[in-house]
Amino acid sequence: MRVLAALSGGVDSAVAAARAVDAGHDVVGVHMALSRTRDQFRTGSRGCCSIEDAGDARRAADVLGIPYYVWDLSAQFEQTVVADFLHEYEAGRTPNPCVRCNEHIKFAALLDKAVALGFDAVCTGHYARVVVRADGTRELHRALDAAKDQSYVLAVTGPERLARSMFPLGEVASKEETRAEAAARGLSVSAKPDSYDICFVADGDTQGFLRERLGSRPGDVVDTAGNVVGSHDGAYAYTVGQRRGLALGRPADDGRPRYVLSIEPVANRVVVGSADELAVRSVTADRAVWFEAPDEPLACHVQVRAHGAPVPAVVRTVRDDVEVVLDEPLRGVAPGQSLVVYAGSRVLGQATVTGARALAGTR
């Protein structure tokens, strides 16, 4: 097969590309330039889109003996991933930009361009497995290494794009194994730190990034009775479940810590309450993408954070919407989060959280 290997400049994508070469595929490497004002070097281990990363990707391609190109996808990235990130926070929701990047960039813009150029598949360094059933159906499963599993952020790809995706690291036992393999292959990125957090917020200051883009919008922080207990410089900078950085001027009557319960963008208010008030037993979601949609209520597991634990639940579909009843309470579920449905290790589908019903009421 003709395979386009996405080379981020990190160790995972380099080893994935190497394995695709070993499998006998005709491999071409490409680095995605996602910012038009890229830094020369990384800031520590944050980000993955610096000029340094592009150089590391080129050197990996040289070692592997494959052609290498840089594709400028910065306009698409700004118009989709960054714009969605800002819009969602402004609307009082909590997005996952990695999910949107996989949806709009890696498995849309990149894959579509690859197919148009005659490639059969795109290879990435994601930790996830593709299992092919006897009838040819391709299933997305968790990686063998649970600590590195990225099936959560890949759930949005859907069956058509999964059919043209390769994840050679899905069966790797640990990240240490990947690094050892990179070193054995002579890849200079073998000891390179992992990238983490939001790649386009290289310094890790998400609130500062939002404030720079959205401006100062002072408002009130209130308790569930509507009493003003503090102030904020922009409701968009908060998320459900947040405790740090509230700077409340009025302590709770019981002296216990308070958390963000909800964001009210129209009123420009942040509502806070106790940890107990964060617990929810049901969740609603929309914009579902299914690998296999349940025809009737299904006992399964759901996950609402990339590094969160899956929890048992019953899921049912109502037209394009999803309703979830949890077997046990879950805290800090925020509108905008990605909800992924699992049957064992298999991903069944993904949807975007629209609301949650708390034990003590609805929010």
CATH number of the domain that 225 lies in?
Answer: 2.30.30
| Of the residues 237, 255, 273, the one at which a domain ends | 273
What are 155-199's pLDDT values in tens digits?
A: 999 999 999 999 999 999 999 999 999 999 999 999 988 876 688
Pull the structure tokens for residue 57: 């990707």
**208 located within any domain:** no
Q: Are residues 240 and 267 in the same domain?
A: yes
Q: Are residues 59 and 140 in the same domain?
A: yes
Q: Give, as one character, the DSSP assignment of residue 110.
A: H
**200 located within any domain:** no
Q: Are residues 124 and 147 in the same domain?
A: yes
Residue written as token pair 């009493």: 227
User: What backbone torsions phi and psi does residue 121 show, to the nearest 5 degrees?
Assistant: -160, 160
CB 53 within 8 A of CB 13: no
Q: Are residues 349 and 242 in the same domain?
A: no
Is 199 among the catalytic positions? yes
Residue 265 has pLDDT above 70, yes or no: yes
Displacement of CA 281 from its chain's centroid (Å): 23
Distance from C-alpha of 299 to C-alpha of 133, rounded to nearest angstrom: 22
Burial of 59 (0-12, 13-18, 19+ CB in 10 A): middle
Q: How many domains does the chain have?
A: 3
Is 123 among the catalytic positions? no
Q: Are residues 133 and 77 in the same domain?
A: yes
| Confidence (pLDDT) at 51 | 80
Taking the CA atoms of residue 105, residue 110, residue 111 and residue 112 in that order, the dihedral angle to the nearest 10 degrees is 100
**82 located within any domain:** yes
Pull the structure tokens for residue 241: 């479940």
| Of the residues 191, 225, 256, the one at which a domain ends | 191
CB 355 within 8 A of CB 333: no
CATH code of the domain containing 172: 3.40.50.620
Confidence of residue 40 (pLDDT cuts 50, 70, 90): very low
Q: Are residues 227 and 243 in the same domain?
A: yes
Number of H helices, E strands in the chain: 10, 18
Q: Are residues 307 and 239 in the same domain?
A: no
Q: Are residues 239 and 318 in the same domain?
A: no
Helix H or strand E encompassing 20: helix 11-22
| Of the residues 273, 289, 311, the one at which a domain ends | 273
**205 located within any domain:** no
Distance from C-alpha of 122 to C-alpha of 113, rounded to nearest angstrom: 10
Residue 20 has pLDDT above 90, yes or no: yes
Q: Are residues 296 and 351 in the same domain?
A: yes
Q: Report strand pairing: 219-222 vs 269-273.
A: parallel
Among 49, 101, 123, 300, the one annotated catalytic? 101
Taking the CA atoms of residue 164, residue 288, residue 152 and residue 8 in that order, the dihedral angle to the nearest 10 degrees is 50
Cα separation values, 195 from 8, 48, 117, 200, 230, Å:
10, 6, 29, 11, 35
**64 located within any domain:** yes
User: What backbone torsions phi and psi does residue 250 show, to the nearest 5 degrees?
Assistant: -125, 115
| Confidence (pLDDT) at 251 | 74
Sequence-ordered strand ranges (E) for the chain = 2-6, 26-33, 68-72, 121-123, 128-132, 138-142, 165-166, 219-222, 228-232, 259-264, 269-273, 279-290, 298-303, 311-318, 321-331, 338-343, 346-358, 361-362
CATH code of the domain containing 282: 2.40.30.10
- CB proximity list for 339: less than 8 A, separation 6 or greater: 283, 285, 302, 303, 304, 322, 324, 350, 351, 352, 353
**253 located within any domain:** yes
Q: Which of 302, 298, 307, 305 is nearest to 332 (CA)?
A: 305
| Confidence (pLDDT) at 361 | 47
Displacement of CA 53 from its chain's centroid (Å): 20
| Confidence (pLDDT) at 153 | 96
What are 196-245's pLDDT values in tens digits?
A: 668 888 777 888 899 999 999 999 999 999 999 999 999 999 999 999 88
Better pLDDT: 320 or 101? 101
| Confidence (pLDDT) at 194 | 81
Q: Are residues 151 and 7 in the same domain?
A: yes
- CB proximity list for 136: less than 8 A, separation 6 or greater: none
| Confidence (pLDDT) at 41 | 45
What are 117-147's pLDDT values in tens digits?
A: 999 999 999 999 999 999 999 999 999 999 9
CB 63 within 8 A of CB 40: no
| Confidence (pLDDT) at 42 | 47
Pull the structure tokens for residue 49: 């889109």
Distance from C-alpha of 38 to C-alpha of 27, rounded to nearest angstrom: 27
Q: Which domain holds residue 255?
A: 216-273
Q: Are residues 261 and 285 in the same domain?
A: no
Among 48, 98, 199, 300, the one annotated catalytic? 199
Q: Are residues 259 and 300 in the same domain?
A: no
Average pLDDT, the chain: 91
**88 located within any domain:** yes
CB 17 within 8 A of CB 58: no
